[in-house]
Amino acid sequence: MKIPKVLRFSALILMAAVLLSSAVFTADTTLPFKDVKSGKWYYNPIKYVYDNGIMNGMTKNTFEPEGTTTRAQLVTILSRLDDAEIKGMGANTGFSDVPAGKWYSDAIGWAAEKKLVNGYSDGTFKPNAPILRQELAVLLDRFIAYREDALPEKPITESFADQNKIPKWASGAVERIRLSGIIAGDKAGNFNPKKTATRAEIATMIQRYLENVEDPMFSRLKNIYSLAEGDGKSVDIHLLLRERINGSGTPFSLSEQILPQLGLSTETYAIEIDKVNLEMLIADTDCNMFFGDDGIYNSHGKSITEEDDNKGISKLRIINKETGEVTPYKTVMLNVKRSTGPFYGMDPEEFNPGISSEVYEEMKNIARYSLGDLGRYAAFIDKAERGEPVTVAYIGGSITRGASGGPYHNWPRLTENWLEKTFPNSEMTFVNAGIDGTGSEYGNLRLASNVLDHEPDLFFIEFALNDGSPNSENMDGFESMIRRVLSTEKKPAIMILLVGNSGTEMCDYMKSVADHYGISVADYCGAAKYALDLGEIYSGEIAYDGSHPREWGHNFMSQTLVLNFRAIMEKVKTASEEDLVIKDIPEDRVSTAINEDLQSDRPLTYTPESMGNWKVVDNIYRFGHGWQCDDTTSEFVYEFTGKELYILGGHSDGPDYPENESTNILVSIDGGEFSHYDCDRYVRIISENEVATHRLVIKAETEGTTVTVAEFVHH
C-alpha cells in the first residue's frame, strides 16, 4: 500500500511502529474553525483530516461540518489520499462540463483514468453537484479496490433498514463499505442512499478507513517471523487471499514476502515448507503458530506427529537455490491472518486452483456428474437472455450461508457474480436460505416460506454434508423438496451441489434422485476427494475444521456449478425442440413419501383463534414474519386438521434475534396438561396415523425471555 505523503514516517526510525500498529500519527494542533467545537461528535474526525492535510476548511475560520460535499471535492480528497501526481491530467477529462484549468480538472482527470468515475450518460460529470450517499459508497468501494487495500470486517451496523431502497448498481458497494466499518446509518438504522453526504460525514469515513486499512504486505497485525541469517531481523507477513485462492497459499508467496525484507534475493533464495505445514498455515489462520527445531504446534493445541517431525516436516526452510544449502534461522512465531485485499467478486471462470492441469481436468470431469434434462434450464436461459427479471434461490446449511468464505467468496455470491455477468440485461433477485447446521428434513419444512414464496426461476440445493448417512427423514426431505419445487407453476430449473470433505453416503442417494428427475449435479465432493487422495490439494482448503471449506473450496464449488451451466448452455444451442420440452414429474419416487404434501400456517396466511400478548414481527431470520412473546401467562391458540404437526421456531443465529431469547415453549394439546418442548429450529408436536382436528395452546416457558414461533407445518 502506498501511504500518502501527509501520512508517511521515517522508515528507518518508525518501521516497527508502522508494522505493529494500525494507527496513523498526527500532529497535535488546534483547529482554527469556529464552527467545530470540542465535544461535538465530528470534532475528532475533522481534526484528523485537517491535521493530516486531507481536508481543508471552506474558509480560513470555517469548516462547514453540515455542509454538503460536491463530486469534485470528493475526487480531490481521494487524489490526496492516493498521493497521486495529478498535474496535467485535466487537459482532456472526456467530460463536457470539466474544461481544463479548473481547480478540480486534474483530480477528475486522474479519477477518470483510474476508472473510479464514469460520469453521466449525457457525457457530463456534474462537478458541483452534491454527492449522494449511494454515489459516495460506490466511489469509496472502487478506490479501495484500486488501492488494493485490505479492510477487516468491522461493521458499525447490521444491514440497513432501508436496504430495499438502495439501487442494485450501488447495493454491493454499500454492503462492502458497511462490512468494512466505514459507513453507518442514521439513528433508525437507515442508509438514506439519496441523501447528500455532509463534510463531517466524509471526514469521519476517511478517518475510519485510514485507521483500519491493512497493508497487504506489512499487515500491522503483529505477524512476526523471527527469521535470521545472522542477526535475527523481524519482518511482517500476510497470507494473501489471492494466493490462498489461486494455488492454496503457495511457498512462492511466502518467499516473495519474506526474503526481500531480509535482504535476500528471490533469484538466489527460496522458502520451502512441507505440505503438512502449509496445510496447517491455511487451516489455522487467526491463531498463533510456532515453527522450530522442537516441532510445530498452535494455539488450538494441534501438533504434527513425532514420525512427521523426525522426517523434518516441522522445518520451514530458507534454501540457497544455487548451492542447495539451508540457511539457518531462529524459531518462528506467527499470528497468521487472512488478508482479503480487493479480490471480492472474483469471476468463477477466472479461478486458478494452483494444481497440475491433468488432475484439474479430471476434477472438472468428476464435478460434471450430470447435466440433466434441458427443458427447464433452457426456459431459464431464454428468460434471462430476453432481459426479463428472474429469481435465483439457494437452500442448504452453513456452507450455503457462506461460512468460512466471507461475504465475497462464498459459493452463492460467486455464482451470482457469474450469472449477472452472463445475463447482464436481466434484473436478478437472489434469495439465500442457508441456515447453519441444518439438513434436508428441516429444509423441506421451511421450503415454502424460505424459498417457494419467492417464486424462484433457478434453485440450488446443498445438504449432503449435514445429512450425512441416509435415513428416512433426510431422504424423504430431500426428494420432497425436489418434487415440490418441480411442481410449482414457474417450473424452475434445479441444480444440486454435493459437498463433503471426504465423501458421504448421502451423495449417492442424491445422485439417484437427480437421475430420476433429470436434474443437473455438480459433484464437488467427488472432485475434491479425488485431488485430496492424490495430495494435490489440502484438507484444510476443503474442510479446515472438518466441514467448512476456505475460500479455495468456495471458489471451486462455484466453478463446478458454472462449468455445468456452461455445458448446459452449449447443449441448448444445438438441441432439438423435443429435447427442450419440459418433462413431466415422474409419479413414482426414489424414497418413501412422508412429508411431501405439507401445508404451512404463518402470520401472512393464518390468523389464530387467540394470541393474547403474542405479536407479529417481521425480522425472523430467513422466514421474515413470525410470532413472538415474552409473557408466560399469555396463550396462543392454534388449530389444524392433519396427522402430523411441526412447530418451527426462530433462529438465534439470525441478525435480529432478541438478546434474551429462549427456545422453550409449553404446549397443551386438546385440553391436556402443558408439556415442555424445546423449539430450537423445529420440533414435532403431533405424529399420528389418522387425520384429526387438534387444538393447541402455546405459552412461553421462561419469564423475561422472548420465544419465537415462525410457522406451523402439518400434513
In a domain, 318, yes or no: yes
SS3 312: coil
Highest averaged pLDDT of the listed ranges 73-87, 192-206, 225-239, 452-466:
452-466
Confidence of residue 180 (pLDDT cuts 50, 70, 90): confident
Check whether residue 390 and residue 532 sit in a common domain. yes
Helix (H) or strand (E) holding 677: strand 675-678
Confidence of residue 29 (pLDDT cuts 50, 70, 90): low
Q: Which is nearest to 160 in space by CA: 126, 137, 131, 144?
A: 137
In a domain, 274, yes or no: yes
SS3 508: helix
Check whether residue 605 and residue 543 sit in a common domain. no
- The C-alpha angle with vertex 120 and arms to 117 and 122, in degrees rounded to 5, equals 140
pLDDT of residue 371 exceeding 90, the answer is: yes
SS3 105: helix
Residue owning grid cell 437507515: 190
Q: What is the pLDDT of residues 665-709, one digit of tens each?
A: 999 999 999 999 998 889 999 999 899 999 999 999 988 888 999
**Of 558, 574, 590, which residue is a domain's last?**
574
Confidence of residue 576 (pLDDT cuts 50, 70, 90): very high
Q: How far apart are CA 557 and CA 412, in angstroms?
A: 9
Q: 505-517 and 472-486 are packed helices; what angle lies between their axes, rounded to 10 degrees? A: 30
Check whether residue 568 and residue 429 sit in a common domain. yes
Which range has the worst mean pLDDT, 144-153, 159-168, 221-230, 589-598? Answer: 221-230
Q: Which is nearest to 217 in space by CA: 319, 330, 341?
A: 341
Q: What pLDDT is recorded for position 276?
A: 54
More confidently predicted of 84 and 569: 569
**Cross-strand partners of 333:** 290
Check whether residue 333 and residue 366 sit in a common domain. no
Percent of the chain with pLDDT strictly greater than 90? 43
Check whether residue 558 and residue 680 sit in a common domain. no
**What count of other Cβ atoms lies within 10 Å of the Cβ of residue 577?**
6
- Kindly report the pTM of this predicted structure: 0.61
Check whether residue 362 and residue 473 sit in a common domain. yes
In a domain, 491, yes or no: yes
Which range has the worst mean pLDDT, 78-82, 178-182, 361-365, 501-505? Answer: 501-505
In a domain, 585, yes or no: no
Strands 520-523 and 493-498: parallel
- The C-alpha angle with vertex 518 and arms to 516 and 520, in degrees rounded to 5, equals 120
Cα–Cα separations (whole angstroms), residue 17 to 206, 218, 236, 698: 21, 11, 12, 60
Q: What pLDDT is recorded for position 578?
A: 93
Check whether residue 560 and residue 707 sit in a common domain. no
Structural domain that includes position 290:
224-339
Q: How far apart are CA 682 and CA 600, in angstroms?
A: 13
In a domain, 592, yes or no: no
Q: What is the pLDDT of residues 64-104, one digit of tens each?
A: 999 999 999 999 999 888 778 898 899 888 899 999 989 99
**What count of other Cβ atoms lies within 10 Å of the Cβ of residue 212?**
18
SS3 588: coil
Check whether residue 144 and residue 91 sit in a common domain. yes
Cell of 347: 469471476
In a domain, 298, yes or no: yes
Confidence of residue 641 (pLDDT cuts 50, 70, 90): very high
Q: What is the pLDDT of residues 487-525, one digit of tens each?
A: 999 999 999 999 975 457 889 999 999 999 999 999 999
Check whether residue 528 and residue 658 sit in a common domain. no
Q: What pLDDT is recorded for position 382?
A: 96
pLDDT of residue 237 exceeding 80, the answer is: no
Q: What pLDDT is recorded for position 54?
A: 84
Check whether residue 43 and residue 172 sit in a common domain. yes
Q: Are 219 and 286 in contact (CB under 8 A)?
A: no
Highest averaged pLDDT of the listed ranges 29-43, 121-135, 446-460, 615-629:
446-460
Check whether residue 10 and residue 151 sit in a common domain. yes
Q: What is the pLDDT of residues 418-427, one digit of tens each?
A: 998 899 899 9
Tell whether the torsion through CA atoms of 537, 541, 544 and 547 is positive or negative: negative
Q: Are 627 and 611 in contact (CB under 8 A)?
A: yes
Q: What pLDDT is recorded for position 261?
A: 57
Q: How far apart are CA 615 and CA 439, in angstroms?
A: 29
Q: 71-81 and 133-147 are packed helices; what angle lies between their axes, rounded to 10 degrees? A: 20
Check whether residue 57 and residue 166 sit in a common domain. yes
Confidence of residue 158 (pLDDT cuts 50, 70, 90): confident
**Of 574, 591, 625, which residue is a domain's last?**
574
Q: Number of folded domains in the chain?
A: 4
Q: 551-574 and 524-533 are packed helices; what angle lies between their axes, rounded to 10 degrees? A: 120
Q: What pLDDT is recorded for position 262?
A: 61
Buried b (16+ CB within 10 A) or exposed e, 229-267: eeeeebbbbbbbbbbbbbbbbbbebbbebbbebbebeee
Strands 493-498 and 458-462: parallel
Q: What is the mean pLDDT of residues 106-117?
A: 91
- The C-alpha angle with vertex 143 and arms to 410 and 58, in degrees rounded to 5, equals 140
In a domain, 346, yes or no: no
Q: What is the pLDDT of residues 286-332, one digit of tens each?
A: 333 444 444 443 333 344 444 444 333 334 567 788 888 776 554 44
Q: What is the pLDDT of residues 275-287, one digit of tens each?
A: 555 555 554 443 3
Confidence of residue 250 (pLDDT cuts 50, 70, 90): very low
User: How many helices (DSSP H) and strands (DSSP E) are in the chain?
Assistant: 23, 25
SS3 240: strand
Q: What pLDDT is recorded for position 258?
A: 63
CATH number, domain containing residue 648 = 2.60.120.260
**Of 189, 212, 235, which residue is a domain's last?**
212
Q: What pLDDT is recorded for position 118?
A: 85
CATH number, domain containing residue 417 = 3.40.50.1110
Average confidence score pLDDT of the chain: 79
In a domain, 218, yes or no: no
pLDDT of residue 233 exceeding 80, the answer is: no
Q: Per-residue DSSP letters for 590-649?
A: SS--SSSS-EEE-TTT---SB-TT-EEEEEETTTEEEEEE--TT--EEEEEEEEEEEEEE
Tell whether the torsion through CA atoms of 572, 574, 575 and 576 is positive or negative: positive
Cα–Cα separations (whole angstroms), residue 504 to 27, 237, 482, 507: 61, 37, 20, 6
pLDDT of residue 42 exceeding 60, the answer is: yes
